[in-house]
Structure 1
């Protein structure tokens, strides 16, 4: 890195035709410039400049070196300027991992809005229940529901959703509507990931109740679908069952009770993010 810096200083000295002019351009003192160029000559093993009290002149080796260095410095500046343009107007392909049901039901309209704001960004989405490897796989960001597990990753909180209890009108008519958490023990509860209890709160009280039923699932979409098909009660975020509520296939039960808030995170492998990723995370945090 020091060699590259010295190459850039050498180019400025030649362009300014002296150390004084280069010092004004770079803000580096004359004495420092002279010392750095001397060290560069020593590292190369060739004299690059003929120095006089009034001006400097390139040696033959210096002329060749200047032409090469100038191209390298110009390319580096161009790369820097292009990245600055990307920051002003993000572009490129944004690769995102989403939880399936949350993305399809809730995030799709927000993603459409974001796409209209940034026409220079294209999208590569992976909708999967698995937690992708952000270190080993080429994703810019993963949107995750629930607590973050990997301390090596950077998790930025976007929102927190309290889940409610939902069932179909037909199930409630057939099995009766529970009035208190303890009543759930007598009902078919569609539990996720083999959970045998739900923790519910009403603002002042917290109760942990045993739940069970014929189905144990690892798919939010399947649990939602079975609930709409009169198979039991789900504890789920309202944003995920919004369509079923609107169409009357599910109704809220025990509305004064809800589960512990479920956090939503944007997870990245590093804090140093390209503009496209920064803008996407900022947009979701604001809109969600």
Structure 2
């Protein structure tokens, strides 16, 4: 058990990259931490950390040992937490990376509801479109739309959201209402990339249409904003334009036609999840399935 405790202290020192920072997290004095790590190095027979007056760095052996220790310590903590969770609600800080517009428009009310259910959990949300590295960055979970690109992450499907077509009343007044997907070729369409093809489905009918327009952007928020400014037609899941629909800034067009569903995944580094993360994923899956 003492070895496991020393491994846990070593992990905290590496996470903080300082004895002072680890002391603040663990409540163990700097001097004690330094002595325990020195004894651990002596027992192993290899130096794990390069120490200077200003910083510490991992040795090659230390990097390997840290990667192994972190998993062992996480699993040990998880075992305790899962047992404790039988009699208590989960606690701790949940660190999640979220897609910007989907989080602001659709997920924010769900986060508020989840916070009411679990008052012992605090939250750190990072809203970013980039693909975060769950191994090297301090996130418990990342929520992403679209198929995962990192095969090292564990992906749990939360929902599949069909895309639909939207435009502003001002744009439709100027350009007219398309009556069939083929007419989209004559319209201004806001796309992720030029020369984009949109696939639309209606019952057993499928149409692929080449669309174009003056604006090609890589931000869903910019999509929405340009569409509300009468710049063209957008093709997005309804969940990211709910506010615009409610205000009348955007309206459905060709409502009988939908696009292939966009998957929404919860990505984690491991299958072994603490209770706070497991509850969060289960909550989102339930809410998205019954939206």
Q: What TM-score does the superposition give when structure 2 sets the normalisation length? A: 0.70
2:78 and 2:96 map into 1 onto residues whose CA distance is 25
Contact 2:81–2:275 under 8 Å retained in 1 = no
Match of 1:105 in 2: 105
Which one has the largest radius of gyration?
A: 1
CA 1:270–1:116: 2 relative to 1, 3 Å? same
Query: After superposition, where does 1:11-22 map in structure 2 within 5 Å?
Result: none
Q: Which residue of 2 aligns with 1:85?
A: 84
Q: Which moved more, 1:83-92 or 1:175-184?
A: 83-92
Partner of 1:214: 214
| 1:42-53 paired onto structure 2 within 5 Å | none
Q: Match of 1:192, SS?
A: coil
- Is the counterpart of residue 183 in structure 1 residue 187 in structure 2? no
Cα distance 1:161–1:205, how it changes in 2: closer, same or farther (>3 A)?
Answer: same
Flag structure 1 segments of 5+ consecutive residues without an equivalent: 5-76
CA contact 2:194–2:212 (8 Å) conserved in 1: no
C-alpha offsets along residues 167-212 of structure 1, whole Å, 9 cap, x if unaligned?
Answer: 0011111001111111111100000244611111112111111111
Residue 259 (structure 1) shift: 0.8
Residue in 1 that maps onto 2:268:
268
User: How far does residue 152 in structure 1 lie from its aligned partner after superposition?
Assistant: 1.5
Structure 1 runs, 4 residues or longer, greater than 2 Å off: 77-88
- Distance in 1 between the 2:157 and 2:80 partners? 32
Contact between 1:194 and 1:217, CA under 8 Å: does it hold in 2? no
1:252 equivalent in structure 2: 252
The equivalent of 1:138 in structure 2 is 138
Q: Give the whole-Å Cα distance in 1 for the aligned partners of 2:209 and 2:81.
A: 58
Q: Hey, what does 2:149 align to over in structure 1? A: 149
Mapped to 2, the partners of 1:102 and 1:78 lie a distance apart of 32
Aligned to 1:241: 241
| Runs (5+) with no aligned partner, structure 2 | 5-75
CA positional deviation for 1:84: 2.9
CA 133–176 in structure 1, closer or farther in 2 if over 3 Å, else same: same
Change in 2 beyond 3 A, CA 1:171/1:272: same
Calculate the aligned-residue CA RMSD, in Å: 2.1
Query: In structure 1, what is the Cα distance between the partners aligned to 2:77 and 2:125?
Result: 31
Q: Cα deviation per residue 1:3-22 (whole Å; 9 max; x = unaligned)?
A: 99xxxxxxxxxxxxxxxxxx
Q: Is the 8 A contact 1:162 1:259 kept in 2?
A: yes
In the TM superposition, what is the alpha-carbon distance from 1:162 to its structure 2 partner?
0.6
Q: Decide whether aligned partners of structure 1 residues 89 and 203 sit closer, same or farther in structure 2, where only a CA change above 3 A counts.
A: same
Report the counterpart of residue 126 of structure 1 in structure 2. 126
1:107 shift after superposition: 0.5
